[in-house]
């Protein structure tokens, strides 16, 4: 049971901790590329991966797939919202931006849509995976 818990939740917790650090550090590392260095792309990609990890962490009950996705997307966006508020309140070099929260939502929703499309493109896959 502990092994199952760790295999599901540990990746989510570690990745979430990384996002918290990147969000609240005064000078986060930068990427010297026009597209990959774009702040909104970074938000969407980071929160898309976080939503996938959250979905995985919520278990594997095939009857609860929609609820797992709903919890994953809403939870991920809530984390993004709380971090935006924390940036505005607790940091001097960072600002809270609604556009960042919107990028978080696009990333989390995009992860859901990507797996939903994958489910229908690959008909041989189990239907309960997305």
Residue 4 lies in a domain: no
59: alpha, beta or left? (left if phi > 0; alpha if psi -120 to 50): left
What integer best gives the mean pLDDT of the chain? 88
Residue 126 has a pLDDT of 54
Residue 58 lies in a domain: yes
Distance CA 87, CA 97 (A): 9
The rounded radius of gyration (Å) of the Cα atoms in the chain is: 16
Residue 3 lies in a domain: no
Could you tell me the two tokens for 82?
A: 């709380």
- Indicate whether 128 pLDDT > 60: no
pTM of this structure = 0.84
Distance CA 86, CA 64 (A): 32
Number of domains in the chain: 1
Residue 31 has a pLDDT of 76
């Amino acid at each position: 049971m502990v092994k199952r818990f760790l295999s599901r939740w540990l990746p989510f917790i570690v990745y979430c901790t990384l996002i918290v650090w990147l969000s609240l550090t005064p000078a986060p590392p930068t990427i010297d590329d026009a597209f990959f260095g774009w702040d909104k792309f970074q938000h969407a990609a980071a929160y898309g991966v976080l939503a996938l990890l959250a979905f995985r962490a919520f278990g594997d009950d095939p009857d609860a797939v929609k609820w797992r996705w709903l919890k994953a997307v809403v939870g991920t966006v809530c984390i993004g919202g709380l971090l935006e508020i924390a940036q505005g309140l607790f940091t001097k070099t960072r600002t809270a931006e609604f556009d960042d929260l919107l990028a978080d939502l696009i990333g989390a929703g995009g992860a859901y849509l990507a797996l939903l499309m994958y489910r229908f493109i690959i008909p041989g896959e189990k239907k309960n995976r997305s």
